Chains A and B, each alone.
Chain A
Amino acid sequence: MTVSARGWVTRMLPVLAGMMLGGLLMLVGLAQAGRLAGKDPEAVVALAQQMQVLHRKVDLQLRAKDVAGAIEALEDARTLPWPDRERGGDLGMELRHDVYGRLVRLRLDHPDVAPIEPDALLALVDEGLGPEPDAVDPNPFTARLMALRGESLEGQGRDDEALTAYERALDINRTLLERELGDVP
């Protein structure tokens, strides 16, 4: 290698290193595209632990056929200080949609246990979905809660709105399936 060639490589080395670093960052960005990380990791960790305990408790209650106790435990979770999406990120919203979805499912399957009015049930679903459910990165918990909103609307005879909710749920699951197949980053 001549002296001039070595000089050219020396000059270009920072450029090549920058290109490699840029490509690496691009791949990481694509992998995390659309997924919002919470700004408050402490709140996310605490919430995840609380939800883990709550789900275990509800599992045990349902195994003991204590539907009323399970519904009561999940209803209590409504009073938790749920972080918003900016603070808790998409993970916080998923945890919230998961708990509300389980509660609404139980209420729909057991309408005679601690019954509530159809409007109250729909309000419960909307409370769980939050202000911007479509902004949350696609996940099965949001899709399920959206479909449960469709069931609640259907129970009120609002079939057109129910159909719209079902289609949104199916769209989310379709995106998840495409991700599994590698068509969508």
Chain B
Amino acid sequence: MSTGNDSRAQPGQQPTPGVVDPAGGWEDALRAGQEAEGNAGSVDAELAIVHLLRHARAPQGLADTQFDANWASIEEAIAAEGRAASDATGAWWRRPWAWVGGTAAAAAAAAVMLMVVLPPTPTPETTPAIAQAPAQPKTASTAAMVERQFAILAPKAREQQVREADDSRDTLRSSLLADAIAADGSTP
């Protein structure tokens, strides 16, 4: 594309201003030429290169407000990217439903542990059912158990019976003796 800006100076002519000279009016000339050609084509790419060259020649500092504004826009863009990445990669502990669900699961686990660890307290309503439930299987074994206990306990109990019978015999003998003495004493 011809821009019509030839920077080579002809002899006897005043040197044309450089492309990077902001006071040269070249940009205006470039726009005018574009209009003359019916705004055909684009000069934006050429202008971007010229702006770059000009900036490289004389770097222009940013005002503080402009600098802050640039950083604000950059930070906003970074934050948006971070949120998108977090949602995509699944940092589950940052999600609200994870906290709600985790709390509920922990509470349920604690309740189950309490039920398992703490022994059930029989209530008046449940106690008869517990007592009646094993009636059928318990009876036969209980009868045998009582018989075994009897075999163990009976010998000592019989010894006790003999001792008590002897005590009664002593009491009876004393009573009979006392009666006999009394009878002798009363005999004239």
Binding site for B on A (CB under 8 A): 38, 41-42, 44-45, 48-49, 91, 94-95, 139-141, 143-144, 147, 150-151, 154, 159-160, 162-163, 166, 169-170, 173, 176
Contact = CB atoms under 8 A, between A and B. Distances in A.
Nearest to A38: B168
B175 A41 contact: yes
Contact of A173 (B140, B149, B164): B149
Interface residues of B, number: 26
Interface residues of chain B: helix, strand, loop or mixed (majority): helix
Given A140-B157, A141-B154, A41 B171 contact: yes
Nearest to A105: B147
B150 A144 contact: yes
Contacts of B153: 140, 143, 173, 176
Contact of B147 (A95, A144, A163): A144
Interface of B: 131-132, 135-136, 138-140, 142-143, 145-147, 149-150, 153-154, 157, 161-162, 164-165, 168-169, 171-172, 175
Contact of B138 (A42, A95, A163, A176): A163
B151 to A, nearest CB: 9
Question: Lowest 4 CB-CB distances: which A-B pairs, in order?
Answer: A140-B153, A48-B165, A147-B146, A41-B168
A173 B146 contact: yes
A51 B145 CA distance: 26
B169 A150 contact: no
A95 B30 CA distance: 138
Interface residues of chain A: helix, strand, loop or mixed (majority): helix
A177 to B, nearest CB: 8
A163 B135 contact: yes
Nearest to A162: B139
Given A141-B154, A159-B136, 8 more contacts: A44-B164, A94-B157, A141-B150, A144-B147, A154-B140, A159-B139, A160-B132, A170-B145
Contacts of A163: 131-132, 135, 138-139, 142
A14 B137 CA distance: 64
A147 B157 CA distance: 17
